[in-house]
Structure 1
Amino acid sequence: MPFARINEITTWYQETGQGSGLPVIFANSLGTDHRIWDGVCKRLSGSQRCVSYDKRGHGMSDMSPRPYAIADLAADLLALADHCGIERFVICGVSVGGMIALASAAAAPERIAGLVLCDTATRIGTPEMWNMRIGQVRNDGLASIADNVMERWFSRGFRNTRQDELAGWRNLLVRMPAQGYAETCAAIRDADMAAEAQAIAVPTLVIAGQEDLSTPPDLVRSLADQIAGAAFEIIPGVGHIPSIEQADLLADLLGEFLETLPHE
C-alpha cells in the first residue's frame, strides 16, 4: 500500500491509470475516504493518471497533531502532488474536497489546469450547525448522526433500491475516527471561500446533485456564478456524492471537460 509523509501526516494515496492526459487529483468529502472515487478512476484510467487519497483524519491517514484549516488541507494536496512528481494537474473535489480544490488553486494557481467542483459552495452550513454536530459527535459518536447523514448523502431512490450499498457506506462513516470528523467539521465551519472562488482563472466545471440536501443545487449554482466562465451541470436523481450514485455519468462529464483543456 502506498503511504507518504505529507506535512507531518502519514497519508494513504492511490494512483491509477497511465494515460497521456492531464493528471487528476481527487479530494473526498467529510466522513468518506478515497473509495468514493473508485468507479470514476476506473472509468478514466485508460486516458488519465488519477490520484485519490485519504485526507488527514480520514481513512488510513494520520490524525492531525493540531487543529487545521482548509488552507492546511490544500497544502497537503499540493505536497502530495509534489510527492507524486505531478507539476500541473486538475483537481476534482466534492463537498469539503471542493473547498480544498478552491484553496489549492488560490495557493498555487500556476499548477492548476482546471477544477471540477462537485456539490460544494464557498460556505457550507452555519457555525451554529457545525458546533452542534461537533458536540454530538464528540459526545455520542458518529453512529448518532449516521442515519441523518445518509439522507443527505444519497437520493431517496438510492436509499430505497440500493440498501446493501447504503449499509456499506454507513459503515464507512461510523467506523472513521470521530476526532478526524469533528476537526474537519471545524475547518468547514471556519471557511469562507468567496475570495478564492472569485479569483479562479482556470476552466471550471461545477456539478450539483439534484437531490442534494447538504449543498442544494441553488447553493452550488451560486458558486458557479462567482467563478468567471464556469460551466454548471445538474445530475438528476443524485444526492451529495455523485461519484457513488452515478460514477459513470460523472466520469463522462469529467472526461468531456478534460478534453477541452490544453495538455501543456
Structure 2
Amino acid sequence: MPVPAPITLVLIHGHPFDHTMWNPQLEAFSASRRVIAPDLRGYGASPSSPQVTRFEQFAQDIAALLDEREVDRCVLAGLSMGGQIAMDCYRQFPHRISGLVLADTFPAAETPEGVEVRHAMADRLLREGMRGYADEVLEKMVAPTADGAVKAHVHRMMTATRPESAAAALRARAARPDYRELLTQVTVPALVVVGADDTYTPVSDAEVMHAALPDSALHVVEGAAHMPNLERPREFNGVLERFLARIDAHS
C-alpha cells in the first residue's frame, strides 16, 4: 500500500515583508514536502494593483493560489498579519486546512485606538516612504541581539515594500474581523509560536489563542522577538517539524 505524500505546507508572510522571510523554512522543508510561500498582493514580486481594500481579499488570494497549484488541503502557517490571514482562511474555507500554525499574531479585532494608529501609519508611509519606519521598528521586529545578517534581511524587506501597498494593507487590516470566537471552533490541530521578547504580540496573546483553540500546542522561543522563524530558525523548524509529522500521521 503506497505511503501518502506529506501534506503541503503553505507559508504566509507578515507585514511589511515578503516570502523571503520564510527562507529558513523553505530550505529546511522543501526537500521533504511541497512548500508554497507566496508574496501577498502588493508585496515582494506580486502585482501592486489592484490594491487590497478588504482584509478577506488576502484569504481569497490564498484560495485562488491553492486552486492554481491544485492543492486540496494544506497546513497553513502565518506570522503576524500572515497569522490573521491564516485565521481568515479558516473562516472562509476550513475544509481545505489540515492544520494551523499561528506565529506572533493575535485574533482580536482592532480597538478604536488601533484603527486610528493604523490609518495614521498608512498616511505616514505614503508621505515619507518606508525607510524611517523601518529604521524605527527594526529592533522590535527582531531582538537587538539578533544576527546582523538577519537584521539586514528584515530591514531590506521593509524598505523594499511599496508604500502604497503597505498603506492599503494597513487600512484593510484596521477593519479585519474578530477571530476569537472562530478559534474556539477550529477542529484541526494548531501550533501557536511566539518570541519571548515580542512586544507587538506578547506571550500573553499567544496564551489566549492557545487556551481558545480546542487542540493546540504552545511554544515560546527564548531570545526572539517578533520573527522567531528568522531569529531562531533551528528551534522554530524543530517545533514545526514535529507538528507536521503529527499532521502527516493522521492525514
- TM-score when normalising by structure 2: 0.91
Unaligned runs of 5+ in 2: none
Residue 35 (structure 2) aligns with: 50
What is the CA–CA distance in structure 1 between the aligned matches of 2:48 and 2:219, rounded to whole Å? 35
- TM-score when normalising by structure 1: 0.87
Q: 1:29-50: CA deviations, max 9, x gaps?
A: 0011111111112111232210
Match of 1:71 among 56, 62, 69: 56
What is the CA–CA distance in structure 2 between the aligned matches of 1:155 and 1:52, rounded to whole Å? 24
**Deviation of residue 181 (structure 1)?**
0.7
Give the 3-state SS of the residue equivalent to 1:234 in structure 2: strand
Unaligned runs of 5+ in 1: 1-18
**Deviation of residue 194 (structure 1)?**
2.0
* Higher mean C-alpha deviation, range 118-127 or range 203-212: 118-127
What is the CA–CA distance in structure 1 between the aligned matches of 2:120 and 2:236, rounded to whole Å? 33
What is the CA–CA distance in structure 1 between the aligned matches of 2:221 and 2:150, rounded to whole Å? 20
Residue 93 (structure 1) aligns with: 78
Kept in 2: contact 1:211–1:237 (CA 8 A): yes
Residue 128 (structure 1) aligns with: 116
1:132-211 matches, within 5 Å, as 132-158=120-146, 162-191=147-176, 192-211=178-197
Of all paired residues, the percent bearing the same amino acid is: 26
* Higher mean C-alpha deviation, range 163-172 or range 225-234: 163-172
Moved over 6 A (4+): none
What is the CA–CA distance in structure 2 between the aligned matches of 1:242 and 1:93, rounded to whole Å? 12
**Deviation of residue 198 (structure 1)?**
2.5
1:223-242 matches, within 5 Å, as 223-242=209-228
Kept in 1: contact 2:44–2:160 (CA 8 A): no
What is the CA–CA distance in structure 2 between the aligned matches of 1:46 and 1:263, rounded to whole Å? 21
Kept in 2: contact 1:217–1:234 (CA 8 A): yes
What is the CA–CA distance in structure 2 between the aligned matches of 1:241 and 1:77, rounded to whole Å? 22
- The 3 A distance-change label for structure 1 pair 225 and 203 is same
What is the CA–CA distance in structure 2 between the aligned matches of 1:186 and 1:56, rounded to whole Å? 14
Is 1:21 the counterpart of 2:6 in the alignment?
A: yes
Letter of the structure 2 residue corresponding to residue 61 of structure 1:
S
* Higher mean C-alpha deviation, range 191-200 or range 102-111: 191-200
Give the 3-state SS of the residue equivalent to 1:231 in structure 2: strand
Q: How many residues align?
A: 243
Letter of the structure 1 residue corresponding to residue 45 of structure 2:
M
Give the 3-state SS of the residue equivalent to 2:244 in structure 1: helix
Match of 1:259 among 226, 235, 245: 245
Give the 3-state SS of the residue equivalent to 1:254 in structure 2: helix
Kept in 1: contact 2:77–2:103 (CA 8 A): yes
Residue 16 (structure 2) aligns with: 31
Q: 1:110-157: CA deviations, max 9, x gaps?
A: 111000110001137611221221121111111121122212210121
Q: 1:188-245: CA deviations, max 9, x gaps?
A: 2112222332321110010011111211111122122221122111000011111211
- The 3 A distance-change label for structure 1 pair 124 and 106 is closer
Is 1:115 the counterpart of 2:100 in the alignment?
A: yes
User: Pairwise CA RMSD of aligned residues?
Assistant: 1.7
